[in-house]
Amino acid sequence: MTVTDRFLSYVAFDTQSDELTNMTPSTPGQMVFAKYLKEELEKMGLEEITLDDNGYLMATLPANCDKETPVVGFIAHLDTAPDMSGKHVRPRIVRNYDGGVIELNAEQNIMLSPEEFPELENYLGQDLIVTDGTTLLGADDKAGIAEIISAVAYLQAHPEIKHGKIRIAFNPDEEIGKGAHKFDVKQFGADFAYTMDGGAVGELEFENFNAASAKVTIKGRNVHPGTAKHKMINSIRVATQFIVMLPRWETPEHTEGYEGFYHLVGIEGTVEQTVLSYIIRDHDRARFESRKRELEHLVRKTNTEYPDCCTVEIYDQYYNMREKIEPVMHIIEVAEKAMREAGVEPKVQPIRGGTDGAQLSFKGLPCPNIFAGGENFHGRYEFVAVQSMEKATDVIVNICKLIAE
């Protein structure tokens, strides 16, 4: 079975996560998929296969070399993003892409155009797996799962390639930020690992945002508008004042690279009460802490005009994994060499987001992120090249080989 065959079978599973259920996994489809994968791993003859009640699946490919080597892990996530439906995914392969517009859905006039998505120019002559325009594809991260399992199958079929003990894991709920929460690092037992959860070919990431969420609650006072003068406090109007006090250029749509931001992700309000939901992001830890303090400062400033009306709750979500990777930079060097041996030029860049690897790194498992090959994640225009998945599979095999050497 090829990596493409595996991927096409995996996207049939509806594994969209849901942050509102407060369960692990957050949706039943993820456990259905995990059980399917468990059976596949059992048929392959892997060892130490476990699937816990929270949907964390782990397995081992035993070493086939005599010398002692570090235990390396490879990790991908079961769920797809809540941003768009992952149910009834209908993938198709566009063979030998010619650089033109790809018609995803004629009936709804949904097109994948190089004018809107210029990255398509990087895939001339390749075979692209696309959606029918009504769902996401699920390359994030079912491509990663297919690549890991395909690499393990390749190593099994080629015992002449010597490798140490290899651990693999597939976890739920990465897309809602909870993928690493119940990941048992001690049980996994790897010295270091790689998440196969990046984008285009060559991506290698060991820096990510420091991240926090913030909920600003503004209490108002509702009085009949006919007699409201000097009495009413309209919490919606106070909230709009609060919003514009934050720097307008420090938002996702105005930043790139290492630039951080405040991102207003939700507003719920009436005259009596308005709640603003923010996420705060910055690669630099000092600036990250400064951003949190700025929100607290604006709350105090608001309360000087409207006493005791405004409060904020801030929760740290994850931190920049760089500080945990720098002491073991040889694992980045191994990944870079593995890519070059697969004919891929490494593109080391910061993640403008987070991965399970960031949280796992702070739990004691250094875990940078490697490309899985997909583009335009979380929406109807998502696609992945067959050749990209094949390259990712080669990189995994090369990492295992290099570590044994």
Active-site positions? 79, 174
Give exposure, 46-60, as e/b (b: 16+ Cβ within 10 Å). beebebeebbbbbbb
Ramachandran category for residue 133: left, alpha or beta (phi over 0 → left; psi -120 to 50 → alpha): left
Burial class (CB in 10 A: 0-12, 13-18, 19+), 402: middle
Which structure tokens are listed for 84?
């768009």
Decide if 141 contacts 174 (C-beta within 8 A): yes
Stated as kind and residue range, the H or E segment containing 112 is strand 110-112
Q: What gap in Å lies between CA 154 and CA 141, rounded to an integer?
A: 20
- End-to-end CA distance of the chain, in Å? 28
The SS3 call for residue 264 is strand
3-state helix, strand, coil in the chain (%, to 5): 35, 25, 40
Give me the phi and psi of 133, to 5 degrees please: 85, 0
Stated as kind and residue range, the H or E segment containing 403 is helix 386-404
Q: What gap in Å lies between CA 11 and CA 143, rounded to an integer?
A: 9
Q: What is the separation of C-alpha 109 from the centre of its chain, rounded to a whole number of angstroms?
A: 29
The SS3 call for residue 39 is helix
The one-letter amino acid at 335: A
Decide if 187 contacts 365 (C-beta within 8 A): no
Q: What gap in Å lies between CA 104 and CA 12, rounded to an integer?
A: 18
Q: What is the separation of C-alpha 397 from the centre of its chain, rounded to a whole number of angstroms?
A: 23
Half-sphere exposure of 41 (CA within 13 A, CB side): 27
The SS3 call for residue 335 is helix
